[in-house]
Structures are given as C-alpha cells and as structure tokens.
Amino acid sequence: MNFAQFGYIRVAAFAPVVSIGNPAANADAILACLQNPANDAVSLVAFPELSITGYTCEDLFFNQGMVDQIDTALVRIAKASRVQTVVVGAPYRLSDGRMINAAFVCQGGKVTGAVPKISNPNYGEFYDKRWFVSGEGIDENIDSPQLGSFRITTNQLFTLGESRFAIEICEDLWHPVPPYTSHVRAGAELIVNLSASNELVAKADYRRDLVRMASAQGVCAYLYASAGPTESTRDIVFGGHHLFAENGVLLQESERFAMQGSSLTAEMDWQLLRHDRTRNNTFASAARPQGYTTVGKQPVLPIEQLQRSYRAHPFVPNDESEFSARAVDILKIQATGLARRILASHAKTLVLGLSGGLDSTLALLVCIDALNILERDNTDLTVITLPGPATSEHTLQSARMLAKAATASLIEIRIDQSVEQHLKDLNHSGDHDVVFENAQARERTQVLFDMANKTGGIVVGTGDLSELALGWCTYNADHMSSYNVNGSVPKTLVKYLCRWYARHRADDALSDALLRVLDTPISPELVPSDDDDIAQETESIIGPYELHDFFIYHYLRNGFDAAKIYQLTLLSFADKYDAITVKKWLRLFFRRFYTQQFKRSTLPSGPKVGSVSLSPRGDWRMPDEANVDAILAQIDEF
C-alpha cells in the first residue's frame, strides 16, 4: 500500500545542534538529519531560520569569509536533495550589497529558488534590521557559479508531487498581513515557516494559536520549524519548537528545549485541503494574487505505513472535559432551535413519540430543555408511547420510566387493532414483511400528528443523522415531523449525549432510566418475537453504527472516496473489524446512501449542530437518481 496515492505527503522539521558562525559544521548536522533512516518516506524537510549559520551570529553576518562558506554549504545540501525537498535558512548578499535573510529550496540536487524574509523585527530583544533588509519587492534572477540559476522573490510556489508549497520566515507570520494569505490564494496547500522564535512565558501557547489559526484561515497545512537551544543564550533562549497544523487543527508538536536537537514528522493531506477549498465558497471566491510563478518538480516519496491516525469515533471528542463542553453546546443548540420553533408556531404543546429507544430519549431531554428556556412547565409536553405487535415489554417499561422520571405525563395508545384493521383492508397476507413493518410506523406517525392537532402542538422528530444517511426510516412515517431535533446528530453521538446527561444532569431516577435505555440493543421493533424479547437488532441488519458514522464523516465532511475510507477504516478499527467485515458494511453504506436520497430530499426542518448535515436546504444537495454503480464496482475490487 502506498498512502501517497490518497494525497498524503510526509514532511519533517529539524533543529539540529548549531555551530554558531560555522556553515560547514552546520551543513554536516543538516546532512546527518537527512541521512537518518527514519526519513526514508519524508518528501520535504525543513530547517530553522538561518540554520546554515545560526540565527544568533550578530555582526558575524558581515564577515566575508562566512559569506563564502555559505555558498559551499548550500551546494552540499542541494546535492543531497535528489529525492527529498530540503528547505534551509541562510543569509544572502545581493549583487547591490544588501543582505537578506532567506530560505533556500533545494530539489532534484540543486537550488530551485530562494524566498527572502519580509518582516525583520527591531523591537525588544530583536534588532534584525542591523543586518538584513526587507525582502518585500525583491525579485532577482540569480546566476551563481556555485549555486546555479534560481529566482529570489516571495512570489513563488514550489511543486511537491501534485501539491504546491510556499514559504514565509518567522516574523512574517506575526505581521498584520502575513505573506501566507497571498501564498494560499495563489495555490499553496502547504506553508513552510523557517523560524527563530525565542521562548518566553506563555509564548508557546501564542505560537500554537498563530500556526493553528493561520492553517484555518488559509485552509492549508502549516509546517513551523524553529531554532533550538544550542543557539546563543546570552540574552534569550530558543526552544526548537516545531509545529504542524492542518486547516485549524494542530496535528503534531515537538518537544522543546532538547539540547541534542528536536524534530517533528507529520503527514499532510493535500486532497483533503483541496476538497475543503472547493466547498468553502469564501476561500474559492477570494481574489487570486498576480505575479506568482511555480518552480521545481519533485515527486513525493511513497508512504507504506501511515503515521497519521484517525479517531474511530470522529463525532465524539476523546477528552472528557472537551466532550462535556461539546455536550452542553449541542443540547443548547437543539433546545434553542426547538424553543424558537415553539414561538414561531405558537404551539401550546410538544408532542413526542417515546419508544424507549435512544433517539426518542434524547429528543425527550431536548424537549424538557426547550420548555425550560421558555420558562414553561413540563405539562406542555405530551409524551405518547405507542406499543404495537412487535413492542417488547422491556422498551415499554423504559418509556414509562423515562416519562415518570422527567415528570411528564405519558399517554399509552396501543396500535395493534388499528394496524390489524389496516392490513385487513389491504388484504395483506399476514407475513411480517415490509408492509407489516411500515404500517406500524405510519400508524404511529398518524396518531402523533392527530394528537398535535388536538392539543394545538407540534410533533417533535427523533430520527438521527446516521439513520438519515442510511435511509433507515419509513418514508412519511418516522421520517416526518414538525421539527426534528436530532437530524444532524449521529448515532454514536446520541449515545454519548444520553450517557453524559445521565452522569452530569439527571437525578437518580432519570439517570437509571437513561442507563437502562443505553443498555438496550438498538431496534426498530417492527417484527414480533415468540418470547416477547427484541427480535430485530438494527446493527446486525445494517452493520455497526460506529462504522457507518466513520464512513459518513469521511465521505461527507472530508470528501474521501471509497478506497481511501476503506484503508482508513482498516487502520482506525484494526483491533475490531477485519477487511471482509469493513468491505461488507462499506458497500451497504454506499448502496443505501445513494438509493435512499429521496427520503432526505423531503426532510423536515431541524437544527444543525456539527460540521456534517444532510439537510436538503443546507449542506447536502444530491439528486435522488444519482448512480452508485461505479462506487460499488470499486469496492468489489478491494
């Protein structure tokens, strides 16, 4: 397997031990980093600002002997770039005598370009303007006997396989209008920053935020390589802080203050970045800057094993405190949306069908919170449970416990006779087929809407995002409501929200009821059993929801194709599902996702709570007739 075919490029940042003012020794250290066997799959390696001389050379930058040594060191490093792209920092004296602080890009065994630093800090502990001029406006074609021909300018992109990267240097990122804002609009998916950022109390946090937000604003990957503690520490200390962020997420960070040198290795996904840029109309419509050229032509190295990991449950934060804050937000969004709909419709009541399952349980909690926002009593909540031919005593008892614990009155209406009469009118065979199942679902929906008419209320929908993606709902039955509070909440998140509510907000009675629901297998309960137990278990029919939620996230949020999703699923669930199982449920997911779009095209309104939504008025517009055959054929070849 070569993961580079899926858009991954491995990059690295190093801060080797520095010999201040000794380009030859620094070149040795840089070459040693490049020769590290761990870098075999690394396609781009970045070193800190002025890494060939050391950042803290001060007036040694003026020395002609060191200037001569820089070219020799650059030639050695360039020759080592035959398979890897290498970005190093060095001072460079222009033909008119001005000196710039530059980043040199080496590819294919030669220097392909140099980018000058624009913002030279001259405040506090910095006085860079003593040695360097700004690179703004500099655009020179260099023809050097040693270094060859290349261009020095900020307005250039460098190729890396099918992707492109650009460069800014340290303080450029701190500028009110940093260069990366132009670079990304010109087409750079990766920004490489060569830096010498000293360490102060809390500065590391500020630096992380800068890099993370730059990657978010630029919809790009951002690799930050900073000078280490073997620079001069006469007045300031450097930490060798390396960072890698992608579209607002900090993915990797190095250790700081490592006296033997620090490093970072990470993998960018340029396919994902292009997908996000395409769907982000704000980015796509931004004016493209003029005057950029693209240079270099370096293929990326194959990646046999992906270091980058993906959470098995992408909708659910790993950190407990982060999830707690997320749960508060989600429930507040759901409840606020419902409260506003109550006001708009002048509803006297909320009508909720309570099955004793997960989705209707979460909807019950949202209804309570919505009424609380409006300072209305729970008596305005009409909870109805509608046991039918396949309802188990277990779930019926759960519904009773939930309603009692929530201090909501429960109305029980059995639908056995009405369903039986309806099937009799249809001359139904009596088999437990789809007609038998859907008749129950539609009878329940009819009762709920009629009760809403009777009480002057609205019907609160309960179906979740995972069910909508799979079309696991009955058209014009549980598929329909006046307002669906769970429409953008995936099943894995429904579970976590109910469990969080039980732990943090519920009293003992409600907590016990919630935990009972959580311990119950997920089931539509539309086929009866002989022993009054649950006959249908949804996940044995359509597959594990945790797999489907993984598929949903990476197909809808990231735009990955079936092959990439398949490989990432194998990595993320390596200890749980084998390749045959993943392939089986991935095929079912795509088949149902495409063929069931007609149900999503007529969805009721509901609040969007996360980055993924299937609302036909919001994030997802898809023709009902879209053809899935090519995707299924691709999966069959796995």
Distance CA 211, CA 205 (A): 10
pLDDT at 187: 97
pLDDT of residue 532 exceeding 80, the answer is: no
pLDDT at residue 527, as a whole number: 82
**pTM for this prediction:** 0.94
Which residues are catalytically annotated? 49, 117, 170
Q: What is the average per-residue pLDDT within 570-599?
A: 98
- pLDDT tens across 22-43, in order? 999 999 999 999 998 778 899 9
In which residue are the tokens 């999503």 written? 600
Are 54 and 19 in contact, with CB atoms under 8 Å apart? Answer: yes
State the Cα–Cα distance between residues 480 and 257, nearest whole angstrom: 59
For the stretch 45-94, pLDDT in tens is 999 999 999 999 999 999 998 989 999 999 999 999 999 999 999 999 99
pLDDT at 185 exceeding the cut of 70? yes
The mean pLDDT value for 440-463 works out to 97
User: What is the average pLDDT value for the chain, to the nearest integer?
Assistant: 95
Q: What's the pLDDT score for residue 533?
A: 66
* 326: its two tokens: 């997320």
At 373, is the pLDDT very low, low, confident or very high (cuts 50, 70, 90)?
very high
| pLDDT at 370 > cutoff 80 | yes
Fold topology of 320-542: Rossmann fold (3.40.50)
Q: What does the CA dihedral 519, 524, 527, 532 come to, rounded to 10 degrees?
A: 30
Query: What is the pLDDT, as a whole number, of residue 133?
Result: 97
**DSSP result, 328-396:** HHHHHHHHHHHHHHHHHHT-SEEEEE--SSHHHHHHHHHHHHHHHHTT--GGGEEEEE---TT--HHHH
Neighbouring residues of 502: CB distance < 8 A, sequence distance ≥ 6: 510, 511, 514, 515, 518
CA distances from 550 to 1, 554, 573 (A): 21, 6, 10
**Cα gap 548→616, rounded to integer Å:** 20
Contact of 157 with 292, CB cutoff 8 Å:
yes
Per-domain residue ranges of the chain: 3-286, 320-542
DSSP states along 482-539: SEETTTT--HHHHHHHHHHHHHHT--HHHHHHHHHHHTSPP----S--TTSS----HH
* The pLDDT of residue 525: 74
CATH level 3 topology of 3-286: Nitrilase/N-carbamoyl-D-aminoacid amidohydrolase (3.60.110)
User: 3-286 and 320-542: same fold?
Assistant: no
Smallest CA-to-CA distance from 38 within 307, 225, 308 is with: 307
- Annotate 143-183 with three-state secondary structure: EECCCEEEEECCCEEEEECCEEEEEEEHHHHHCCCCCHHHH
Q: Count of residues for the chain?
A: 638
Average pLDDT value for residue range 619-637: 97
Number of other CB atoms surrounding residue 269 within 10 Å: 24
Bridging pattern class, strands 148-152 and 156-160: unpaired
